[in-house]
Structure formats: structure tokens, C-alpha cells
Chain A
Amino acid sequence: MTTIPFDHKMGAHCESGTVTALLNHSGLKLSEPMVFGIASGIFFGYFHKHKSFTFPTFIVRNRPGEIRKNIQKRLGIRFRTFSFRKEQQGIEKLDELLEKGIPTASQVDFYYLDYVPNWERAHVNVHFMVVIGKEGREYIVSDSYFPKPERLNEESLRRGRFAGGNMSPKGFLFFPENVPAEVDLRKPVLKGIDKACFNMLNLPVPFIGIKGIRLFSKRIMDWPKIARDTDHLSHEVMKINILLEDQGTGGAGFRFMYATFLQQAAGIIGNSELASLSTELMNIGDRWREISLFAARIGKNRDLGPGKMKELSDLILERAEMEEQFFKKLKQSIK
């Protein structure tokens, strides 16, 4: 089997990068921010206790899989999906699709990807990438986190696809089956913005959206009591930087990418208010980045006393106020 010709591009985020790459391959040219925005990707959720997390954490994007599902619903694209109870069936199906020349997205546990440096690896069951070929016992994958297509041992891919645990991939595969050559983006853009505003402002859950950012600000003061020791606390505080910047967000917890979406959306629907809101969000993103840098610095210096933790908490609370105002204006701008 050879490699399917596929335009590999880096993306900010694995799911939006993968969906964008597959749509582009099928002839529908959309940018990653447009896919992310139409799919209402921007989000916030804080989890102080969760059976799958050893320490409190937060998310800055909607639930894994939602980007594909929302794009399907809002753009009228049909994705063919497969999940498997039996590993062998999952392996055979992927090989069969590759034989047919279909680049196929695969959900995997990031931890088992050979080409990822060890210090970056973590058990995350919701990493997406496109498998574009197989040579001998190696698959060729277009992983949007990496500058070029990578090779992955077939045993590693099997382990990644069939890892157990929370949000287990179950060998999940997908590819777009029915892609229109052109789509009127106006309605999907408005729907995407409307839903994002609802998620950030109105979801009646105390740890989601603006309420989630406020909860994060409050509960981070408890982190020193939960950590094993100072090194552990330092590690978890420095992870704030990773979650906001490094874990496939395009910077500032997706705020920069969403600002880019709003700028593009302003042109599509001819709404100049969206253009100014995109600039405002870019500035809010810069403020999130201040948190990233502050967290990295105090973590490195082990400067984690009550004073610094309070400072961090106040910075987060400030972002909650900013984002509440921002999303209210955004909601109003599309009425």
C-alpha cells in the first residue's frame, strides 16, 4: 500500500485541524478558525474533582467530537463514522479504507504515539489525526500537531485506538462522505456564535462557561491543600500554561483562534461589530497569556505562597468579568 496524496498542514488543534484537513481534501476550502467557530468550539469548564483526573483541571474547548458533529449538522456534510468492539475488525476497516484511497481520521490515546517526545506524552483518549497510508508495518499519519507526516508502528496505533478508560476511542474512525463544493456560511456562522454565547453565558451548570472561570478563580486557592508537595503544586500550576498555550489551542486557550474566526465571520456576514469584537477578544487573549506566563514563572520559582496564589486567582477572576461582558456583546451583535 502506498501513501494517499494529502496536503499535510499543521493545525492549532487536533480535532479542528483534522476536520479542516479532511474537508479541504474533499474540496471544501475552509480555514481552521472557521471550522472551530462554526462548531462553537470556544468554551470553558473547570473540574475540581473528576474520577479521571488526579488533580483539578480545566478545559477551554467544547466536548471532544462536538466539532465534527456540529460541522456535520450546520454545514450539511455527512461524516461516515465507525467504532468497534473487536480490535481486529477496526484494524481491517482502517486498512480497507486506506486501500480505497480514503484518508481516514482516527481517535487515539496520545500516550501511545511513537513520534511524540516522551515529555509531551499523556494519557488523553481524545487525540485526532488523519491516517493517510501504510507501508509495511507502519502507518503514515498526518497529525496536525506536527510539521510533517509521521510514521507510526502498527502496534502503537492499535494500542492508541483501543486504549480503555474515560472517553475510550473504541477504534473510532471517520471521514467525510458527502461534501458540497460550496456552502453558504452565513447561517452556520450565526448559529455557531449563538451556541458559543449560550455555552459561555447560559448553560445552567456551575462549572461551565463564565461561571466555570469564576469557580476556577475561587477553587485554585485550594490547590496547595490538595497537592502532594511544593513540586507537585508547581507542576500543576505550570500546567495552566500548557493547557492554555501548548495543548493545541492556537494560543490563550483558543481565544486567539476564535478572534480570527470572528474577523473572518465579520466579512462573511457583513457585520462590522464582529470585526471590533474580534479585536477585543484578541486583547482578552493577551490577558489570558499573562496568566500563562505568570503561572509558569511562579511555578518555576516555587513562589506559591498564599499571596501569589491569590494574585493568580484575581487574574483569573478578572478574565471572567471581561469574558462575561464580551460574550454578552457578541450575543447582542448577532440579534
Chain B
Amino acid sequence: MKEKEGFVDCPEQQMILYVEKEDGEFGPIQTGSFITKNYIDDYFEKRKKLILSLTDQCKNSEISPVKMFMVLEDLTIDELSARTRIPARKIKKHLIAKHFDNLSEELLQRYSTVFNISVEKLKQADPEPEAMNEEPGKK
């Protein structure tokens, strides 16, 4: 890649790109993220639709908040199990709404730590901490 083709104006996400410089030497330039600059709106649009769909399913007791956050955080049951130290077979139950209501404070705390939210947010199936809406330029 030629140096002049490598520059992307995206101060929100800077990165290093290796390019061919004018003198033929290969080396690094600091540039911006192409996908953040051009397609971040699409990411937020999909994210909002996914959140709406999952919160609806939660409201209708089709899934539990654990399932909702697991999908949002892109975690598998095995991974969530290893992170919470809750056996996978128990997590499978916790993904179902009727079992979620019986969870102890301690288990809720373990889930909320992994999801990086408060226990209250987990209970309310509220996936919109202020930062979730943070968009480039608003950091």
C-alpha cells in the first residue's frame, strides 16, 4: 500500500498502518480507522435493533436478562461459565426467564461483574448504560 492511500481522517480511532513510503522504504504511519470513519453508524443501528429485540424478548419472558447480556457481550455459555465460575448447566437454566427470578444476590453479582453493569441494571434488563450510546467524537 502506498503511503498516500493509507491516510484516513478519523481522530476517534487512531492506528498504525505499514505502507510503502515515497522512497520505496516500508514503514509505519499513524492513521485512522476506515471502518469507524465510514460505517460506525451502521454498527450503532444494528446494535440498537438488537437491543430492542432482546429487551422485548425479556419483557415477554422469552429470555432472561442473563441471556440478553450474554448475546450483547458476545459470550458463549462456556466462556460465561469460566468467567463467572458458575457451571454451564446452571447457566443454561439462568438463560430462561422463570429461573432468573430465583437467582441469589451472589450469583447476580457474579454475572453483573462480567457484564460490567450494576446488579440493578441486570435485574431491570437495562442494557443502556450511558456509555452504550457513546459515539465517535463524544468520548
Contacts and interface: CB of A to CB of B under 8 A. Distances in A.
Partners in one complex: yes
Interface of A: 10-12, 32-33, 51-54, 111-112, 117-120, 122-123, 145-147, 159, 163-166, 168, 231, 234-235, 238, 241-242, 245-246, 248, 250-252, 256-257, 259-260, 263, 278, 282, 285-286, 289, 292-293, 296, 299-300
Given A166-B79, A296-B38, A11 B16 contact: yes
B1 A252 contact: yes
Given A119-B134, A246-B13, A300-B42, A256 B76 contact: no
26 contacts: A11-B16, A52-B79, A53-B76, A54-B75, A119-B136, A122-B74, A146-B14, A163-B83, A164-B82, A164-B85, A165-B79, A165-B82, A168-B82, A234-B42, A246-B15, A246-B35, A246-B36, A248-B15, A256-B17, A260-B26, A263-B25, A286-B1, A293-B34, A296-B39, A299-B42, A300-B39
B134 A278 contact: no
A12 B30 contact: no
A112 B134 contact: no
Given A12-B16, A257-B18, A51 B76 contact: yes
Interface in B34-74: 34-36, 38-40, 42-44, 46, 49-50, 73-74
A51 B39 CA distance: 29
A245 B1 CA distance: 13
B13 to A, nearest CB: 7
Given A12-B15, A282-B20, 15 more contacts: A10-B14, A12-B17, A33-B26, A52-B76, A52-B78, A111-B116, A120-B13, A159-B116, A231-B49, A250-B16, A252-B1, A256-B26, A259-B18, A286-B1, A296-B34
A246 B46 contact: no
B83 A164 contact: yes
A119 B44 contact: yes
Interface of B: 1, 6, 12-20, 25-28, 30, 33-36, 38-40, 42-44, 46, 49-50, 73-76, 78-79, 82-85, 113-114, 116, 131-132, 134-136, 139
Given A33-B18, A256-B18, A282-B1, A118 B35 contact: no
* Interface class of chain A by DSSP: helix
Which 10 A-B residue pairings sit nearest by Cβ, starting from the closest? A256-B18, A260-B26, A51-B78, A164-B83, A12-B16, A165-B83, A250-B18, A165-B82, A251-B17, A231-B46
B82 A238 contact: no
A182 B1 CA distance: 32
Contacts of B84: 164
B13 A123 contact: no
Nearest to A168: B82
Given A53-B76, A112-B116, A123-B73, A260 B18 contact: yes
**Which of A33, A118, A146, A163 has most B Cβ within 10 Å?**
A118
**Most chain-A Cβ atoms within 10 A of its Cβ — which of B16, B132, B135?**
B16
Contact of A117 (B15, B49, B139): B139
A145 B74 contact: no
A96 to B, nearest CB: 26
B36 to A, nearest CB: 7
A282 B26 contact: yes
Contact of B43 (A10, A12, A111, A119): A119
B139 to A, nearest CB: 5
Given A117-B12, A119-B40, A159-B113, A246 B26 contact: no
Contacts of A32: 28
